Structure 1
Amino acid sequence: MYRNITLASDRNKNLVETRWGDDNYLYLHHPGWTFPSDCVRKRPIIYFDDLLQILYEKIRYQYDFPTYIQEVLTDIEKNENFAMMVDKSLLHQAFRKVLIYHSYSFTSEEILLNEDDFAVSRNENIIDKLMEDLKNAIQDIYYHKGKIDLSMLTNYHIIIKHYFSDLIKDGHADALPEYWNTFCPGTDTFVDHKSRLEYLIRLGKEKMRFLYKKI
């Protein structure tokens, strides 16, 4: 994997790799730009958790490594909060973590919801596997970065589990605010967490499409 990242700038003319201090960095080629001043612009290098979130969204598409890296750097540039470059070793760590998450050999995107005993057992396994992956995503993207505390981490787990349990067992789920009002009374408002929970639901649905017929 590290070799593929190293060869990315040779395989994609839009990528440039250069050494700065003790580390190697990748950035997008822009005619007339001077490194590092035009890339850094007094902004911090992207943090690991933010890099993970970009990769979690991008990795499901069938790209090669150079294209993935170009997509990541394009997102970083659009963000405007970070230097327009990425540490190669940090990118390698992020790829390893996200590819482990997506390492299953899926055979079908069809969701089958049957009422027989096998389907019930399979649905329970799907929920368990889905929640294992989503718990890791919640911790990596939000908790470890300090965006939510331990109490809210637990609330996220509960909401997501009930949402997908209803969706898988009944074929439909209530609106997210309904779960929030049921399981998080007296805490922050739903609006404060709306975008995060919606992102987790999208991530879970993407995963769920592939898990059926595999277990």
Structure 2
Amino acid sequence: MHEYVFILPIMLFLLLGVMSPGPSFLLVAQTAMSRSRTEAMGVAIGMGLGATLFAVVACYGLFALIAMVPWLYALLKVIGGVYLCFLAIKMWKSAGQDTPGRTALSSRAGFLKMLFAGFITQVSNPKTALVFGSAFAAFLPKEVPDYSVLIVSVSALLIDSGWYIIVAMLLSTPGAQAAYGKFKKHLCRLAGGFMAAMGVKLFLTQP
């Protein structure tokens, strides 16, 4: 099993990356406090699926591809910035709207919708691509043992989904949702402003 030791630093790198605040955390947190735990879980799993996609692609040379094709990273930045600004507008508009009932939001359709939102948020974030690309470029050996891609992909799914599920569980409690309802207008505008700032930063920051 010693041939799989290289996976440990990769997983630690990814864990530290997923725990750092960013648009993914913000989306899970707001969904957990303003909607239902079921929908927040959908976002969390969507984040994990996005991480799995990045893990598979990174195993086949994501970092090298970005280094060889500079415009690809620039394109990822534009797409990510546009999507973050889109989320920011939705959050800002939701400040003046009533929070829907939990029954409707706990439906299967709501879960799948938020799962897709989590997935798109993850894969549209170029910083996530760089985290995965850097980790795999640094620690992936030239000759990987059998089943490495499968093990790494499953690990990435568990790390991302696991962390955001914990966040969803903690912030979807009655106390957290009551506090959100009390300060909804200010929190939505703060979250929307923060999300917009991250989106604009993607446009302005040079690779």
Could you tell me the TM-score, scaled by structure 2's length?
A: 0.27
Q: Which has the higher strand share?
A: 1
Larger RCO: 1 or 2 (CA < 8 Å, sep 6+): 2
More helix as a share of residues? 2
TM-score, normalised to structure 1's length? 0.26
